[in-house]
Amino acid sequence: MPGAGASDTSGRIRAVSDLLAGLNPPQREAVMHGEGPLLVLAGAGSGKTRVLTHRVARLVGEAGVPPDAILAITFTNKAAAELRERIAALVGPRARAVWASTFHAACVRILRREAPEAGYASDFSIYDADDQLRLIRRCLADEHIDPKRLAPRAVQARISDAKSRLRGPDDLAAETGSFQDELIARVYRRYADALRANGAMDFDDLLMVTAQLLEGDPVVRARWQSRFRHVLVDEYQDTNHAQYRLVRALGEPQRNVVAVGDDDQGIYSWRGADVGNILDFERDYPDARVVALEQNYRSTGTILRAANAVVGRNPHRHPKRLWTDAGDGDPIAVVACRDEHEEARVVAGVVDDALGRGESLADVAVFYRTNAQSRAIEDQLVRRGIAYVVVGGPRFYERAEVRDLLAYLRAAANPIDAVSLERALGAPKRGIGPGCMARLRDFAAAHDIPIAEALPRAEEVPGVNPGQRAALLATGALLADVRRADAAGSPLDRIVEDVLERSGLREALAREGTFEAQGRIENLEEMVGVAAEYGASAEEPSLAGFLEGVALQADADLVDPEAGAVTLMTIHNAKGLEFDTVVITGLEEALFPHVRSDTPEALEEERRLFYVGLTRARRHLTLTHAESRAMHGGRDYRIPSRFLAELPPDALAAPPGARRGRPGIAGLAREAARAVGVARAPRLATGDSVLHATFGEGVVTAIEGGGELVRVRFAQDGAERRLMAGAAPMRKVEG
């Protein structure tokens, strides 16, 4: 007898057995779990969305749970929409009543009803990132704090971080450890007051206010706890502290909390995610059932064997091992390249091979650790007429910071280029707005001169304040110096470096102090390398010739993207995607793992990031590393990533066309292991001289953590860095 079950799209009732058809045993166990907490450890490509949707369908169909008593939380609107569609296909129109939404959307719905209890009107405004930034700038001005001293975006990032930890202005003030921290706490307090005065919340408030309201008001808490009988959270490893507290509050007292996620894919600590939330789920819910989804439906056995070997090195993880019944497939190709240009040619060759196998361009993806790496790859694909798209941002030469730098260079090369000059004067922001520009244009027109020639005469321009005048004079001097240096035949990379230094472009981003700002700095510094490459290859290098080459490269006609295009992206942006063919580039120490990954926790996350990259590939996987790479206008010699040494040798094979004279794959692994292990042998002491693969010569200034960590001051930039003694690509210099 069919009895209770899930309905199909026409509303007919189907047997529960229909829901379980096609599910493997662990998936069925998760779907059929009854009351109480459940942790679903969903390995990459293991069908977690299928488990989530089928569980909701079973709750509604068999268990008779009202759809509006189910809260299913995802991290993106796209994922929430997909979840609703899939549930509707199983349950029918009733699925519309399921709360399938993002954390922020769920909090908005709660707060529209409960806002008065938190001291807000129900029609409160929601400020986006731009609104926040404008308000923070006003608060800085009200506190008489120079935005050059304390960058608004840096303040925004710190306030966001505090709110994600449910820390208010007073809490942040109590945590302060420096004068700058005290300033940020002051701005935070004023910003919070301004938001309330405007009847507004920012995105972080939506989470913080809801969590604090649920925890602090027993009536409100009881109302929503009784409303939701089941709480399901996707991508639980990506939750921050505020989201964690929300789930805990809403999940009581029924404790029907289902956390679905994979600690091996926790890669977003830089935006507040805490992988410890999923690692500690069994501590929070001692009676939780744990179901591991280990059967992979995406990748070949060889790729999974490599991924398991790498992530298995992390000490802090739930034990699991992905497997497939789809066969081993092809071995993984590891290619050693001379430099980033040969690496780009290898990428193009992989694309050709994929097309030769009958794949489309859309079946191929190229991953890199930092956005700046895309430039050489983009250049090569353009030359080869291979269509590509950059996910997560514009193409290299279209990135705002790159265009800002080019604006300075174009304004110097062409004094009558008013468009480039106006962009340069506005980057970075220094008070030269539309009014100032209008007065400058009027002055130039009155004297029949280009705007560029008006800059040295800024003291004669009426209505210009002292700050604006100083900026105009400094820019005019910089552009004149660039023209003189170009005429004298100065190397283009030195000219570009001088512009970066004197324009304030790099300094402004450094003040922001955010993960995104660091990536933009790397893009700017990549332009120094572009200029150096041009200078080395051009018969008669000049600023005009350099700009012409960049313009042609940026404006090159590509194959119609509708016919398919290769996907380029950072590995962070690749999570949740899959491709038949994947290339992971830049597998070198100080690049991947990144140079900033100098703690055990950071190194574990870098390894998880590599694991995510590996498990995006369905059939074919190529890993590349370069012996040298253009860095800061020079050439930096690289060491193969330790991650290559962690791959099982039997999963690897040298591809056709690999560099002749290079060691075999097993030898490469041993070479990498030796390269990254050089710091493990010597005992370092304060005062020892060391040589680092990236930072050069330095002196040990302190030993910490029983010898596991060392502080080194490096000669090339005077910076002191905290490094892992057993992992940093560094050796002791004797004598």
How many residues in total does the chain contain?
735
Tell me the C-alpha distance between 330 and 334, whole Å: 12
**What is the DSSP track for 114-166?**
HGGGGT--TT-EEE-HHHHHHHHHHHHHHTT--TTTS-HHHHHHHHHHHHHTT
Q: Enumerate residues 6+ apart whose C-beta is below 8 A from 115.
A: 121, 122, 124
Q: Which of the following is catalytic: 62, 235, 493, 497?
A: 235
Q: Which of the following is catalytic: 74, 243, 265, 615?
A: 265
Q: Which of the following is catalytic: 48, 317, 375, 608?
A: 48
**Residue 664: helix, strand or coil by DSSP?**
coil
The neighbouring-strand residues paired with 570 are 368
The neighbouring-strand residues paired with 257 are 231
Using a 10 angstrom Cβ sphere, with 0-12 exposed, 13-18 middle and 19 or more buried, the burial of residue 429 is middle
Inter-CA distances, 727 with 271, 721, 723, 733, Å: 25, 14, 8, 17
CA 447 to chain centre: 49
Q: Enumerate residues 6+ apart whose C-beta is below 8 A from 446.
A: none
Under 8 Å between Cβ of 732 and 698? no
Tell me the C-alpha distance between 468 and 443, whole Å: 15
Q: Which of the following is catalytic: 8, 14, 29, 49?
A: 49
Both ends of the chain: CA-CA distance in Å? 86
**48 noted as active-site residue:** yes
Under 8 Å between Cβ of 32 and 20? yes
Tell me the C-alpha distance between 527 and 612, whole Å: 29
Under 8 Å between Cβ of 322 and 46? yes
Closest CA to 209 of 192, 225, 187: 192
Copy the structure tokens of residue 276: 């410890």
Q: Enumerate residues 6+ apart whose C-beta is below 8 A from 299.
A: 44, 45, 307, 322, 324, 329, 615, 617, 618, 619
Strands (E), 474-616: 566-570, 579-584
Neighbours of 359 (CB within 10 A): 18
Q: What angle (nearest 5°) sits at the alpha carbon of residue 326, between those of residues 323 and 329? A: 95
Q: Which of the following is catalytic: 62, 204, 234, 598?
A: 234
Q: Which of the following is catalytic: 616, 618, 638, 721?
A: 616
Copy the structure tokens of residue 279: 């690692």
Closest CA to 260 of 301, 318, 325, 321: 318
Q: Enumerate residues 6+ apart whose C-beta is below 8 A from 131.
A: 200, 202
β-pairing verdict for 388-390 and 364-368: unpaired
**49 noted as active-site residue:** yes
**What type of residue sits at position 31?**
V
The neighbouring-strand residues paired with 445 are none
DSSP-derived letter for residue 683 is: P
Neighbours of 320 (CB within 10 A): 19
Inter-CA distances, 294 with 80, 320, 490, 545, 555, Å: 24, 7, 59, 56, 46
**235 noted as active-site residue:** yes
Tell me the C-alpha distance between 426 and 169, whole Å: 32
Closest CA to 713 of 692, 734, 683: 692
Q: What angle (nearest 5°) sits at the alpha carbon of residue 726, between those of residues 316 and 278? A: 10
**320 noted as active-site residue:** no
Tell me the C-alpha distance between 157 and 620, whole Å: 39
The residues carrying an active-site annotation are: 48-49, 234-235, 265, 616
